[in-house]
């Protein structure tokens, strides 16, 4: 049967031009895209085989193979994944921005199986066309589960049309054959290919292989031998023990996970053993990722079951106040093919979350004690987020409180104290922990409210983070000591004033009250040592800082 010529759908010509000329700044990523497609294809057939094992055809030695051919000037990327039928080829490769992978996930969703669907990389339906950045012609030979005669051959120069014909394809899967452009011959080079695979696809579960020629033997015996080498480490490093993982491996994995260009501030890697077993590898970034403040506040870790990704962002594994933590959890105790709904009810997830939270908080505590400067960097980036935990994670609020840093009346500007330190330095007779909320520590240091505390040798925490207004009263107390606002009620006003004084100032207080109708009361105090007067909020009323905030928002 002669090959049929079909036009690309959509404004493909322009789109192709756009994709090959401006979508990707770096054309070497075509290899990442094609390898990812191959990996998705393998995960798809594995997933489908859960319901119908016949689809495997005994072809389960999962592999993505690169074959550079210097003579033909082609680079072939082969996989033994799900393959495509003729209709699927037309739908997926004949239409730009058509993602069969997205359709696959949607079908899984329709069937109520989205939770089961494997983690697939593709979804935009443009990755495949990146091949035309390096190739002036691309040939795809593919077949899904079936027989060798069911294959389809697709070919295009990426200019607006493609040809389609039936083809013999012995094994299920797909070969993508790139006819390399003259200026892209470097992608025939084995070292180049090897380094690109390491760069982009090292943690891929499936082996990316290549036939490599090696000289073996000595002298007369010397001969060339071809061996198939696996180019990616495939090491899901979280499965290894801590002592087996090199710092640069952690770094690399972290970067692949977060796209951060720097390494993490903290690494939390452990294996929980006992009744339930799971492995955890998570990272605390050293700085705020781009867009962090504008994103939906969703936490989550990647959830694997025996290195098979089942959820890219499993929210049950982390509370939102730890949403800066990135990483993976791998549990052999969860069933692979479980729906998202069922998974959410799995009590094991709560067990894992508890364990992760405990370990993250302890690890942060360790960083604070041992590497304070690093901790300070972390705290400046994520302290506000962490404080959300004071109001949400009742069971851990003391642990979170221990991680807080404050400037205080007694610290030098830019230096910090902790609640534990504060309590440790409380002079005899001081019952409560006093704090003052305001815009800046600098401003607060001049506050008349501090005078009375200074006079008694008591310190006052200076809170300047907007969330403190809510979070600190929610915390309520620390180690049995109440947290009280220094500008409110008893803590600020009152004090014992001799009866004689009360008499003496009676007329003045009366006159002031009359002149200041907006003020609830005018009281005599011995708290101020330098200033003549100050405003005090009612113990239960809105604080002065809050009033200013509300005013600014034009309440």
Q: Which residues contact ligand ADP (rule: CB under 6 A)?
A: 33, 37-38, 41, 79, 81-84, 92-93, 99-102, 122-128, 174
Q: Which of ligand ADP, Mg ion, none does 352 bind, CB closer than 5 to 8 A by kind?
A: none
Q: Provide the annotated binding site for ATP.
A: 33, 37, 79, 84, 92, 99-100, 123-128, 174, 340
* Residues in CB range of 431: below 8 A, 6 or more apart: 481, 482
Closest to ligand ADP by CB, 120 or 282:
120
Q: What are phi and psi of 475, to 5 degrees?
A: -60, -40
Closest to Mg ion by CB, 122 or 173:
122
* Residues in CB range of 1: below 8 A, 6 or more apart: 165, 166
Q: Provide the annotated binding site.
A: 33, 37, 79, 84, 92, 99-100, 123-128, 174, 340
Report in angstroms how near the CB of residue 74 gets to ligand ADP at its nearest: 16
Report in angstroms how near the CB of residue 80 gets to Mg ion at its nearest: 17
- Rg from Cα positions in the chain: 33
Report in angstroms how near the CB of residue 206 gets to ligand ADP at its nearest: 12
Residue 52: strand, helix, or coil: coil
Report in angstroms how near the CB of residue 144 gets to ligand ADP at its nearest: 8
Q: Which of ligand ADP, Mg ion, none does 252 bind, CB closer than 5 to 8 A by kind?
A: none
In 3D space, the residue among 422, 497, 499 whose CA is nearest the CA of residue 461 turns out to be 422
Within a 13 Å sphere around the CA of 166, how many CA atoms are in the beta-carbon half? 6
Closest to ligand ADP by CB, 77 or 403:
77
* Residues in CB range of 308: below 8 A, 6 or more apart: 43, 46, 118, 205, 336
Q: What residues make contact with Mg ion under the rule CB under 5 A?
A: 37, 122, 127
Give the distance from CA 397 to its chain's centroid.
23
Q: Which of ligand ADP, Mg ion, none does 408 bind, CB closer than 5 to 8 A by kind?
A: none
Closest to Mg ion by CB, 34 or 484:
34
Report in angstroms how near the CB of residue 99 gets to ligand ADP at its nearest: 3
Residues 75, 180 contacting (CB under 8 angstroms): yes
CA dist 68 and 196 (Å) reads 14
CA dist 25 and 381 (Å) reads 30
Closest to Mg ion by CB, 90 or 299:
90
In 3D space, the residue among 299, 343, 303, 345 whose CA is nearest the CA of residue 113 turns out to be 343
Q: Which of ligand ADP, Mg ion, none does 100 bind, CB closer than 5 to 8 A by kind?
A: ligand ADP
Closest to Mg ion by CB, 102 or 481:
102
Tokens 């290899």 found at: 31
Q: Which of Mg ion, ligand ADP, none does 99 bind, CB closer than 5 to 8 A by kind?
A: ligand ADP
Report in angstroms how near the CB of residue 380 gets to ligand ADP at its nearest: 37
């Amino acid at each position: 049967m002669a090959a049929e010529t079909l036009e690309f759908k959509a404004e493909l010509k322009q789109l192709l031009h756009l994709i090959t000329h401006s979508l990707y700044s770096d054309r070497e990523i075509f290899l990442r895209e094609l390898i990812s497609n191959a990996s998705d294809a393998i995960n798809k057939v594995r997933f489908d085989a859960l319901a119908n094992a016949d689809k495997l055809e005994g072809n389960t030695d999962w592999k993505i193979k690169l074959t550079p051919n210097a003579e033909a000037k082609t680079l072939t990327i082969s996989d033994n994944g799900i393959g495509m039928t003729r209709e699927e080829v037309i739908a997926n490769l004949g239409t730009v921005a058509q993602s069969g992978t997205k359709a696959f996930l949607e079908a899984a969703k329709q069937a109520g199986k989205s939770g089961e669907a494997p983690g697939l990389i593709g979804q935009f339906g443009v990755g495949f066309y990146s091949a035309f950045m390096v190739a002036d012609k691309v040939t795809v030979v593919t077949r899904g589960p079936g027989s060798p005669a069911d294959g389809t051959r697709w070919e295009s120069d990426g200019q607006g049309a493609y040809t389609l014909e039936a083809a013999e394809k012995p094994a299920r899967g797909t070969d993508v054959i790139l006819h390399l452009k003259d200026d892209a011959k470097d992608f025939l080079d084995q070292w180049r290919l090897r380094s690109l695979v390491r760069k982009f696809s090292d943690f891929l579960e499936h082996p990316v292989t290549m036939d490599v020629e090696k000289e073996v033997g000595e002298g007369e015996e010397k001969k060339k031998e071809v061996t198939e080498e696996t180019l990616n480490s495939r090491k899901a490093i979280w499965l290894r023990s801590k002592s087996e993982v090199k710092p640069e491996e952690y770094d690399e994995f972290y970067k692949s996970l977060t796209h951060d260009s720097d390494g993490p501030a903290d690494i939390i890697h452990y294996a929980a053993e006992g009744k339930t077993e799971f492995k955890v590898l998570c990272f605390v970034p050293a700085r705020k990722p781009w867009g962090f403040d504008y994103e939906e506040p969703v936490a989550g870790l990647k959830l694997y079951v025996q290195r098979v990704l089942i959820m890219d962002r499993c929210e049950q594994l982390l509370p939102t106040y730890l949403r800066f933590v990135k990483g993976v959890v791998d549990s052999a105790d969860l069933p692979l093919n479980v729906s998202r709904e069922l998974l959410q009810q799995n009590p094991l997830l709560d067990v894992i979350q508890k364990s992760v939270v405990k370990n993250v908080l302890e690890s942060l505590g360790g960083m604070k004690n041992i590497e304070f400067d690093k901790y300070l960097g972390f705290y400046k980036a994520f302290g506000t987020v962490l404080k959300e935990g004071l109001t949400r994670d009742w069971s851990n609020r003391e642990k979170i409180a221990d991680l807080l840093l404050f400037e205080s009346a007694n610290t030098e500007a830019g230096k910090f104290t902790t609640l534990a330190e504060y309590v440790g330095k409380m002079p005899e007779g001081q019952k409560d922990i006093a704090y003052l909320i305001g815009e800046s520590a600098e401003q607060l240091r001049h506050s008349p409210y501090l005078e009375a505390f200074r006079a008694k040798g008591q310190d006052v925490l200076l809170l300047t983070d907007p969330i403190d207004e809510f979070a600190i009263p929610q915390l309520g107390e620390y180690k049995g000591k109440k947290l009280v606002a220094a500008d409110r009620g008893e803590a600020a006003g009152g004090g014992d004033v001799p009866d004689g004084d009360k008499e003496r100032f009676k007329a003045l207080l009366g006159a002031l009250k009359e002149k200041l109708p907006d003020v609830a009361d005018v009281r005599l105090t011995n708290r101020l040592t330098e200033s003549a007067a100050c405003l005090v909020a009612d113990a239960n009323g809105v604080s002065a800082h809050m009033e200013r905030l509300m005013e600014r928002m034009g309440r």
